[in-house]
Amino acid sequence: MRRHGVVLKLFVVTSVLILIVFSFVMLAEGLFFERFYRTSKIHALERKMAQFAEHFHQAESNDQQVSRLLGSFMNQNDTSTSILNDRFVQTAINPYFLVLQAGGRFITIRMPIEGMTVDEIPQGYQIGDRMAVDGIFMDEKDTVLHPVEFQPAANTEPAAGLVRVEGEITDVMLPERRSYNPLYQDTLIDDALQDWRPNAARYQTQLQSGSTVEMEWTDPWSGVEYAILIQPLSEGKNGDRYLFVMTSLQPVGEAVETLKQYVVYLAPIILILIIVLSLIYSRMVSRPLVVLNRSAARLARLDFTEQPEIRSKDEFGELSRHMIALSRNLDVTLKELTRANEKLQEDMEEKQRSEQLRKELVANISHELKTPLGIVKGFAEGLQDGVANDKRERYLALIVNETDRMNALIMDMLELSKFEVKAVRLQSGSFSITRLVQSAVDSFSQQLESKRLQVKLNSDSEEEMFVMADSGRIEQVVLNLLSNAIRHAEEGSDITIGIGRTGDGKIQTVIENIGRPIAEEDLSRIWDHFYRAERSRDRKSGGTGLGLAIVKHILELHESEFGAANTKQGVAFSFTLYESRGEPHD
């Protein structure tokens, strides 16, 4: 973590906040948890007592239902509960009982609170199970039995003075989910009432108004604290009734003490977890910020090669996507600016080059026209002065020859200007390049004979090769290159013309002569206006100096790959054209 980084700051802030909250929780737990626990328990009992009062009013006339209601309340809330009369004395209601069907009779067995321990009460019995009970009948009809001993099976004889009842359980209400010794707590109701009755008059008004009386009582023998709640029930046939509920507060104190000890042992672990989780959390939260910071740093360096995306649907993900879009837009814009700058640079260089060419063109034109004009003027003045009348025809022929040369120069300049202003449109079609080259060679028969040159036409196949191009312009290219090759070839040598496929759907034509090579520094400039590779050449070598420039423009329009290269014996010019597979056109 960086010293002033967001990860460290977030880690420190998160850890401090969690520690503050944890300390506050521990402090509140020590000060208020016990009170909160007691208050919550008492309020819950008050709600249950209000529900009991409603059900008691409906079942008051049926002792069996009242016993069931009371036993169910004690089991569900783990309380010692009793119904008091108007003198605050317990009524004879046994909350726990069994009903056996024996010999067509239903016998109720009431569990006495005194004189019996929890271990003596049967456990796990359900309706439909069979049971044998030894006891004493409490009524004349022998329907209520005071139990003395429960027998799982009637294998032995009952003790003297006891009656054994065996049958099937049809109804049952026994202690469930109660504390360790519920019967002992139930017997404490009388002790609590004895301590409370002298002060009963103080709460009479509160009870008559329907409010619940709350108080605390301590068992003098065990020292256990109990919470006592007394709530008035509806007035019945025997006068006022009160619901007396007593619940132990010992679990509350024990829970609080245990919780305090638990926290002492748990605090170091929680502290370590806070530090570890805060570190993980701070890294998780700050990771997108770190990634965005690195992305921003790359953008500052104008590096748009890699922009990692944060794949989340929150603000970090949205910001990441916006930065990626910004990066792409900046990349595209900068590339466009770079291309525009390069284009502007090229335009400036082209303008400078054009200006230089213009100057050279003017100088070359002036030079090229000055000499023939001087010759024409000299011969014309000689004829005008009548000098050498015997050479009149020769002078006139020279004047015509120089005039033709100047006319050819002007025509080439006009042709070149059309290419430079993009005014030339190609008329493409399919034709035989083999036949076109042969025709061009035939047109130079006189020049070939005068220099004793032989033309060798080589082809990859015996069949004709067809290309897709402007036949008239390509003929002009072949004528210029062939004328150039003848002009600079050694007398009595061979000119080789090769035609073949290149493998990428194109036909390549190579015209090679035997003669002096071109200097390497001049190979790239031979396509310029009036540029001569050999400075020593004079006008007698022929040509206007514009032929290769015209060839260059024609081949560029055809998207041709062309060039010139020195060979072992001379110079070779080459160009390519797209091969045609269709029918030839005239």
Cα distances (Å, whole numbers) of residue 240 to 194, 236, 329, 565? 19, 6, 89, 130
Strand partners, 187: none
- What burial class does residue 404 get, using C-beta atoms within 10 Å of its C-beta: 0-12 exposed, 13-18 middle, 19+ buried? exposed
Note every long-range contact of 212-217, with CB atoms under 8 Å and residues 24 or more positions apart, other chains counting. 212/46, 212/49, 214/42, 216/249, 217/192, 217/246
Q: Comparing 28 with 479, which gets the higher pLDDT?
A: 479
The token pair that represents 44 in the structure block: 């819950």
Query: What mean pLDDT comes out for the span 450-454?
Result: 91
Distance of CA 585 to the CA centre of its chain: 59
pLDDT number for residue 252: 65
Helix runs in 162-231, H state only: 182-196, 200-208
Among 449, 441, 429, which residue's Cα sits nearest to residue 580?
A: 429
Query: pLDDT over 70 for what percent of the chain?
Result: 76
Predicted confidence (pLDDT) at residue 533 exceeds the cutoff of 80: no
Predicted confidence (pLDDT) at residue 156 exceeds the cutoff of 90: no
Query: Which residue, chain included where needed, has tokens 């009388």?
Result: 190
pLDDT number for residue 311: 65
- Each residue's pLDDT tens digit, 102-121: 888 888 888 877 666 667 77
Span of 26-30, 139-143, 458-462 with lowest mean pLDDT:
26-30
Query: Which residue, chain included where needed, has tokens 């009992």?
Result: 45
Query: What mean pLDDT comes out for the span 425-440?
Result: 89
Extended beta strands in 139-181, E state: 144-151, 163-173
pLDDT number for residue 537: 42
pLDDT number for residue 357: 65
pLDDT number for residue 286: 66
**Contact criterion met (CB below 8 Å) for 475 and 438:** no
Query: What mean pLDDT comes out for the span 157-173?
Result: 86
Q: How far is residue 175's CA from residue 491's CA, in Å, rounded to a whole number? A: 135
Strand partners, 135: 147, 163
Query: pLDDT over 90 for what percent of the chain?
Result: 9
Q: How far is residue 239's CA from residue 480's CA, in Å, rounded to a whole number? A: 139
- Each residue's pLDDT tens digit, 185-202: 777 888 888 888 888 888
Among 252, 85, 113, 277, which residue's Cα sits nearest to residue 181?
A: 113
Domains identified in the chain and CATH numbers: 67-252 (no CATH), 425-578 (3.30.565.10)
Q: Comparing 504 with 360, which gets the higher pLDDT?
A: 504
pLDDT number for residue 494: 92
Q: How far is residue 209's CA from residue 230's CA, in Å, rounded to a whole number? A: 13
Cα distances (Å, whole numbers) of residue 363 to 357, 358, 359, 499, 529? 9, 8, 6, 39, 11
**Contact criterion met (CB below 8 Å) for 227 and 214:** yes
Instruction: Tell me the chain's radius of gyration from C-alpha atoms.
Output: 61
- All residues at 6 or more sequence positions from 443 whose CB lies less than 8 Å from its CB, including other chains: 479
**Contact criterion met (CB below 8 Å) for 544 and 371:** no
Predicted confidence (pLDDT) at residue 211 exceeds the cutoff of 90: no
pLDDT band, very low/low/confident/very high, at 404 (cuts 50, 70, 90) = confident
Predicted confidence (pLDDT) at residue 285 exceeds the cutoff of 60: yes
Q: Is 158 strand, coil or helix?
A: coil
Query: What mean pLDDT comes out for the span 378-401?
Result: 75
